[in-house]
Amino acid sequence: MRGSARLTALLWLALLAGAGLIIHHSLRISGDLRLFMPTPRDAVGRLLLQEVSEGPAAKLLLLSIQGAAPEALAATSQKLAAALRADPAFGFVSNGEQRLDMVPDALLPYRYLLSPTLDTNHLDASYLREQLQEREQDLASPAGTLLTPLLPRDPTLELLKVLESWEPAHQAQQLFDVWFNPAGNAALLIVQTRGAGFDPAGQQLAIATLRRRFDAVRGTSAMQLTVTGPGAFAVIMQGRSEADARVAAVCDSVGMVLLMLLAYRSPRRVFLGALPLATAGVCGLGAVAALFSTVHGITIAFGFTLTGVALDYPIYLFSNEQPGVRPLVVARTVWPTLATAVAAVCIAYLAFLFSGVLGLAQLATFNIAGLAAAGLCARYLLPRLLPVGTRDHGTGLLPSALVNVVGRLPPMPWLAPAIAVIGLGVVIGLRTPWWDNDLGHLTPVPEPLLRQYETLQQDLGSPDVRYLLALRAPTPDALLTREEALSKQLDGLIGRHVIGGYDLASRYLPSAAVQRRRQAALPDAATLKADLAKAASGMAFRADLFGPFLADVARARTLPPLTVQTVAGTPLALTVGALLQERDGGWTGLVTFTDVRQPRALAALATGSAGAIELLDLKQAAEDLVANQRQRILGSMAVAFVLLVVVVAVTCRSLRRMVRVVTPMALSALTTLAILHAAGVALNLFHLIALVLAAGLGLDYGLFLERAGREPAAHRRAVHAVTICATAACVVFAVLGSSTLPVLRSIGITVVLGVASNFVLAQLLIRRQSP
Amino acid sequence: MSSVRRMAPILAAGAAGALAVVASAADPPDIGVLLQHLARAAPATTPFVEVHFSPLLSRPLIVSGELTYSGPDALGRTVDKPYSEHTEIKGDQVSVVRGNGKPRTFSLQRAPELKTLLSSFTALLGGNREQLEQDFTLSVSGDDAHWGLGLTPRDKRISERVTRITVTGEGGSPRCMTTDAPDGSVTVMLMEAAAQSDLPRDIDRAALAKVCR
């Protein structure tokens, strides 16, 4: 019997390990944050989520190099930028250097089509003479040598005019030709990775490459590189959650083993107690892997956390052992209660399947499969592995003392109403903000890292991220034409100090019509040659100097206009691509702003356009998304609660008993909310998940105690079970509560509060009824 | 007649130079003494003529005007012929006004090597040998009567803009400052007495070297 039990246990473990391995190989873990966000219902929401997770901004890493004199930092910045530009892992690299190769050689003749010069001037003898005179004076100035390489090809300095017009309205200060922070002690760079922002594996690779390149160019100096941005966050978070999870796993395991040893004084029960938990984890993960194509990393973490409820099942079984009673008999006796607990939680989780938040649906699947498996494991597997009980845990010191203390207290019929009133009073009365509507807080990134990122963003003069204008058109060229018309209005707004500046695609890429108009204004080869000769007569320039210029103009006359397609692969494509995107069968153009002083005037512009232009308030949209998501979660929680109550009422076959079971749990949720609210904590998704978990545990306590009925010995065994369950939960979640990650911390604290409250209230409210 | 007048100082200088070479072949001028000759008490104003040679040009560009030195890191350069342009440098700020146009200002922070060049120029005028030797290797040639002071940049960033600066002078006063750039252009600034010389429109470098001697 002992031998066969051991064999069964080993076989089961081998089965779990095998299943775990298979799942591990077939599981596709995604870091896409959208899994935990609600499905957006409007265009703004879709745009927002796209920008958040796969937009160009999500691929940007902001770098700062510190720890040396500015000149050395600048030299390192230039070397690093050159190394990264040659690396295929990075799309575009910018450190503020004015690089003439921004416009590659093939695009150089396009400068006359891109520059506004020809809108107001002609390349005739008088304009050329004026320009050449300027150039003579430039050459005779102290900075004359800078022009030597440019002049033969570009005597009107058109390229410089184009680059100047492309310069952002606000940008970081420049020292030694590269971007620096305002204090002048850190060189700044912007790097775009090819991999998606929230793909931690890809980002980790990119950042490792980045650091390797930096170490190579840094040499022996003591300079340090700071990398920040969505991708860097993804990597940091993964590293930190892994480290925290390892520490938590070790602490939890040690704590559990000690607790179980203390409670049951049997190493075998310690081992057996872990079996349902392991079964729950493997089954839950397997179900999610089978039903969903990709699983969010957070789903897995939270899934394992929430299956902690499964620990209650073996504890309940062990605590109900009695000397000489065969484990199978014990299991059969406790099964109705256990089955109710499992069924109630599983059915309640059904509500989350339909929350419209993919991550929550995965979480629900994980828990339904996991908890059902754990319950069955406790009922059918454990009794076959357990030896016949030798002691009645209800007679132990702890349960006896607890029962005594609680028994001596006078009946407190006022307790439940009093807690309800006080809790509601705090929840309704205190005017602290209720909900945390910041979408950013759903990224589990610690505040200081976010602040560092925001500071760098400001130093680099990144545009205001709150307001955007969106235009739509069937083709990119129609869109560019509209943007050109809009530019005139926006220039007016700058004049009226409504906005500080703006950026849109047509600033870089004029519409085909405008390009053709400028092209038509270019003189033919013979005319230009004659006019140039006339202009240069009597001047000091070498006679044949401007051959390259004549050739470029001749080519510019026959070029097909530059389009979104033809700029592909040039540095221009990245700038234009960020502002002009193909979406839902049409083209959307974005206008970004710096320094929006009167949002209302922008709104008026959008309203006045009769729907052609839309003002996007990304902050508002993000808050709407979060609020919308919360509504769905709250709705799911309400449905879950109703389902739970119905299951309990049906299995108890009594309304009164159902109320006894559910009251401590409901009051505990209220108490936890009231305490968090009084402490000024604004609630987010993670608090709600923690509340659900605490309620699930509380339901177990209520059921275990209520089902013990009137028999004192059974009641004491139930008290033992509940005490061990609550202590175990508190140990596990106190470890989580001490995590460095704010998300894990808030979950840990919320669950500990909920469990403690559930434990106390269940003891006080579900007392043994006198026979 | 006019050409004789033009040639006279050159001839005189040549003769004096020949004498000087004979007189002090074994006795090169002292850098400290030369720097004393160059030093000016601020504020000081001196007329200048600049001759720009460039590989892009078939003949040099010649501009003239006035330099103002008002202390460390403060310089003014006014061109009045053949056009008017005023450049004012104060600390890190540079402003340029051409004709009746709008002033254009920029910060020397963006181009620190220009800042180094500027401060070496003011170091020259201020007689600050220590600062000069920080940025340049100094060398002398000639003798006390006709001397040359060579400045070669130590820093690669500066030598990308300027390969060498040579100041030539006669006795106690400088005549020319010649700046060689890596792209082949050469700027010769004639100062003090030399700035009074009347230069032909298509003067070449050899002829100019004689003026500077």
Q: Is residue B79 part of a domain?
A: no
Structure tokens at B187: 């700027």
Highest mean pLDDT among A429-438, A711-720, B118-127: A711-720
User: What is the share, in percent, of chain A residues with pLDDT greater than 90?
Assistant: 30
The chain B residue lying nearest A545, using CA atoms, is B56
| CATH label of the domain that carries residue A1 | 1.20.1640.10
- Stretch (H or E) spanning B190: strand B186-191
Average pLDDT, chain A: 84
**A23 domain residue, yes or no:** yes
Q: How would you classify the pairing of strands A173-175 and A580-583?
A: unpaired
Inter-chain CB proximity B54 and A139 less than 8 Å = yes
What is the per-residue pLDDT for A33? Answer: 55
Spatial contact of A431 and A579, defined as CB atoms under 8 Å apart: no
SS3 (DSSP) at A649: helix
Q: How far apart are CA A317 and CA A374, in angstroms?
A: 12
Count how many pairs of residues, chain A against chain B, have C-beta atoms within 8 Å: 64
For the residues of B46-66, what is the DSSP string, one character each?
EEEEEEEE-TTBSS-EEEEEE
Output the pLDDT for position A457: 75
d(CA A705, CA A403): 12
Q: Which of A391, A425, A455 is the last residue of a domain?
A: A391
Token match 């209720």: residue? Answer: A434
Nearest CB to A540 within list B57, B185, B187: B57
- Helix, strand, or coil (residue A275): helix
HSE at residue A498, side-chain half, CA atoms within 13 A, is: 18
Interface test with B, best of A141, A160, A176 (most B CBs within 10 A): A141
For residue A708, what pLDDT is reported?
84
Range with the poorest average pLDDT among A173-177, A553-557, B61-65: A173-177
Q: Is residue A678 part of a domain?
A: no
Are residues A291 and A369 located together in one domain of the fold? yes
Any chain B CB within 8 A of the CB of A536?
A: no
Answer whether B54 sits within 8 Å of A177, measured CB to CB.
no
Query: Could you tell me the CA-to-CA distances from A145 to A206, B105, B133, B209 in Å, in that order?
Result: 40, 19, 25, 21
Nearest-angstrom CA–CA distance, A389 and A321: 6
Range with lowest mean pLDDT among A143-157, A482-496, A566-580? A566-580
The least confident of A92-101, A323-332, A536-545 is A92-101
| Stronger pLDDT, A249 or B23, i.e. the higher one | A249
Residues of B in contact with A98 (CB under 8 A): none
pLDDT of residue A213: 93
Cα first-last separation, chain A: 41
Kindly give, in sequence order, each residue whose CB lies less than 8 Å from that of residue A413, ignoring residues fewer than 6 positions away: none
Residue B28 lies in a domain: yes
B183–A71 CB contact, under 8 Å: no
Q: How many domains does chain B have?
A: 1
Of residues A383 and A596, more confidence is placed in: A383
Q: Which residues of chain B have pLDDT under 70?
A: 1-27, 109-113
Question: Is B193 within 8 Å of chain A by CB?
Answer: no
φ, ψ at A47 (rounded to 5°) = -60, -45
Task: Check if B183 contacts A (Cβ < 8 Å).
Answer: yes
What per-residue string of b and e applies to A518-546 under the rule 16 or more CB within 10 Å gives b?
Answer: bbeebbeeeebbebbeebbeeebbeeebb
Of A373, A391, A409, at which residue does a domain stop?
A391
Q: What are A375's two structure tokens?
A: 């319950």
Q: A71-85, A410-424, B37-51: which has the minimum mean pLDDT? A: B37-51
The answer to whether position A551 is within a domain reads yes
- Nearest 5°: phi and psi at A509? -130, 95
Helix orientation angle between A618-652 and A43-53, rounded to the nearest 10 degrees: 100
Helix (H) or strand (E) holding A441: none
A4 and A118 together in one domain: no
At residue A42, the pLDDT reads: 66
Helix (H) or strand (E) holding A387: none
| Best A137, A145, A164, A185 residue to mutate vs chain B (most B CBs within 10 Å) | A145
Cα dihedral B195, B200, B204, B208 sign: negative
- Do A270 and A382 lie in one domain? The reply is yes
Pairing of strands A60-66, A186-193: antiparallel
In sequence order, what are the residues at sequence separation of 6 or more whose Cβ sits closer than 8 angstroms to the Cβ of residue B65? B47, B48, B77, B78, B79, B80, B81, B85
**CA-to-CA dists, residue A233 to A31, A201, A457, A460, angstroms:** 11, 12, 15, 19
Q: With the CA atoms of A726, A732, A734 and A739 taken in that order, what torsion angle do they form, in degrees rounded to the nearest 10?
A: -160
Query: Minimal Cα–Cα distance from B11 to chain A, Å?
Result: 29
C-beta of residue A73 within 8 angstroms of C-beta of residue A187 = yes
Q: Which residue has the higher pLDDT, A710 or A30?
A: A710
CA distances from B113 to A149, A239, B35, B119, B160 (A): 19, 44, 22, 10, 9
- Helix, strand, coil proportions of chain A in percent (round to 5)? 65, 10, 25
Does any domain span residue A509? no
| Mean pLDDT computed over A635-661 | 88
For residue A656, the one-letter residue type is R
Q: Which of A162-176, A198-212, A247-261 has the lowest mean pLDDT?
A: A162-176
Q: Is A358 on the interface with B (CB under 8 A)?
A: no
Which of the pair, A156 or A743, is modelled with greater confidence? Answer: A156
A136 touching B (Cβ < 8 Å): yes
- Res A92 pLDDT > 80: no
Query: Do residues B186 and B180 lie in contact, with contact meaning Cβ atoms separated by under 8 Å?
Result: yes
A214: confidence class by pLDDT, cuts 50, 70, 90: very high
Is the Cβ of A257 closer than 8 Å to some Cβ of chain B?
A: no
The parent domain of residue A314 ranges over: 1-30+266-391
Question: Is residue A64 a contact partner of residue A191, using CB atoms and an 8 Å limit?
Answer: no
Yes or no, beta carbons of B87 and A141 under 8 Å apart: yes
Look at residue B160 in the predicted model and tell me its pLDDT.
Answer: 83
* A739 pLDDT above the threshold of 90: no
Question: Could you tell me the CA-to-CA distances from B129 to A278, B31, B162 in Å, in that order?
Answer: 80, 9, 19
The backbone region for A350, taken as left when phi is positive above 0, alpha when psi lies in -120 to 50, beta otherwise, is alpha
Closest CA to B28 of B149, B123, B133, B167: B149
Whether residue A277 lies inside any domain: the answer is yes
Q: Quick one: pLDDT at residue A328?
A: 92
| Cβ <8 Å between A542 and B56 | yes
> Taking CB atoms and an 8 Å cutoff, what residues of chain B touch A148?
54-56, 183-185
pLDDT-based confidence at residue A363 (cuts at 50, 70, 90): confident
- Contact of B134 with B145, CB cutoff 8 Å: no
Per the structure, the complete domain to which residue B180 belongs is given by 2-41+49-59+112-212
- Are B110 and A174 in contact (CB < 8 Å)? yes
Query: CA A179 to CA A203: how far, in whole Å?
Result: 24
| Residue A760 confidence (pLDDT) above 90 | yes
pLDDT at A534 over 90: yes
Question: Could you say which of A560, A594, A626 is where a domain stops?
Answer: A560
Q: What pLDDT score was predicted for residue A204?
A: 84
CA dihedral A489, A494, A498, A504 (to 10 degrees): 60
Place of tokens 């390969």: B163
Best residue of B53, B54, B134, B155 to probe chain A, by most A CBs closer than 10 Å: B54
Asked if the C-beta of A400 comes within 8 angstroms of chain B's C-beta atoms, the answer is no
A313: pLDDT strictly greater than 90 = yes
Average pLDDT, integer, range A142-146: 78
Tell me whether residue A758 is in a domain.
no
Q: Considering its fold, how many domains does chain A have in total?
A: 2
Judge whether A541 is closer than 8 Å to chain B, CB to CB.
yes
For residue B72, the 8-state DSSP code is: T
Q: Do B63 and A176 touch (CB under 8 A)?
A: no
Residue B158's pLDDT is what? 82
CB A166 within 8 Å of CB B203: no
Most confident of the following: A85-94, A188-197, A368-377, A726-735:
A368-377
The pLDDT, as a whole number, for residue B161 is: 82
Cα A308 from Cα A752, distance rounded (Å): 13
Question: How many other CB atoms are found less than 10 A from the CB of residue A360?
Answer: 28
Residue A745 has pLDDT above 50, yes or no: yes
pLDDT on residue A711: 85
Specify the pLDDT at position B109.
Answer: 64
Nearest C-alpha of chain B: how many angstroms from A494? 22
Q: Which of A301-305, A538-542, B58-62 has the lowest mean pLDDT?
A: A301-305
Average pLDDT over residues A314-337: 92
Q: Would you call A145 and B109 a contact, using CB atoms and an 8 Å cutoff? A: no
A461 falls within a domain:
no
For residue B3, the model assigns a pLDDT of 39
Please give the average per-residue pLDDT across A616-629, as a whole number.
Answer: 76
State the DSSP string of A182-223.
Answer: TTSSEEEEEEEESS-TT-HHHHHHHHHHHHHHHHHHHTTS--
How far apart CA A284 and CA A301 sit, in angstroms, is 12
The radius of gyration of chain A's CA atoms, rounded to the nearest angstrom, is 35
Q: What is the pLDDT of residue A748?
A: 87
A173 touches chain B (CB under 8 A): yes
Residue B162 located in a structural domain: yes
Residue (of B96, B100, B58, B156) closest to A143 by Cα position: B96
Lowest mean pLDDT among A29-38, A562-571, B94-103: A29-38
* The Cα angle at residue B194 between residues B189 and B200, in degrees rounded to 5: 80
Domain annotation covers residue A639:
no
| Contact check, Cβ <8 Å, A175/B183 | no
Q: Classify residue B74: in a domain, yes or no.
A: no
Which SS3 state, helix, strand or coil, does residue A547 take?
Answer: helix
Amino acid at A333: T
